[in-house]
Chain A
């Protein structure tokens, strides 16, 4: 799977929007962009995924650049419960089935 690059850490104030960036310059046409998050002492949790178009769900929005070389996970109003490590992952529909997590972005939400 192609590699992703994320900042090691970010901070946000509670109830403000958060934009978490991810660079994936070597993305291929069959790669889906997935986001997972891991709260302290818990297993990872699926957040959202997309291929080319922007996506919204109850947790977040995913904005994908036109050239697909980068994407941004948007939390519209951060809460203290959103403090977690966020992982951006590329998964090809033709590849093996496992997820490969990098080091992700540690999001701190300040009250």
Chain B
């Protein structure tokens, strides 16, 4: 059974803290994605990576960075958490050369609250 796992389901942090969200997939997929999901705004792409050590900005990269040192792991970093980063964070992966018609597999999500 294919799996995308995220390090935490729920996380509470304080303003200004550095936050790490980890995502691991066991399908040997080349492409990995970080989204955030907010009511009324749908799913928005933060960053994606199509290979180890490669990354590309999505629609809303400000305030975030990413790291992909190994193929199976994609980390999202909030350098200095702010209250407007309170959201559901979803990681996804897909195989192939980034063809969008390949199925994306999602993790269960991390609900982050920044106080």
Chain A positions within 8 Å of B, measured between CB atoms, are 32, 34, 36, 41-46, 49, 91-93, 95-103
Contact = CB atoms under 8 A, between A and B. Distances in A.
A46 B103 contact: yes
Contacts of A97: 31, 33, 48, 50, 94, 98-100
B99 A102 contact: no
Given A43-B109, A44-B90, A44-B106, A100 B101 contact: no
Interface of B: 4, 31, 33, 35, 37, 40, 42-43, 45, 48, 50, 58-59, 90-92, 94, 98-101, 103-109
A98 B108 CA distance: 18
Contacts of B109: 41-43
CB-CB nearest 9 A-B residue pairs? A43-B106, A98-B45, A101-B43, A46-B103, A91-B100, A101-B42, A32-B101, A97-B98, A44-B106
Contacts, number: 65
B101 to A, nearest CB: 4
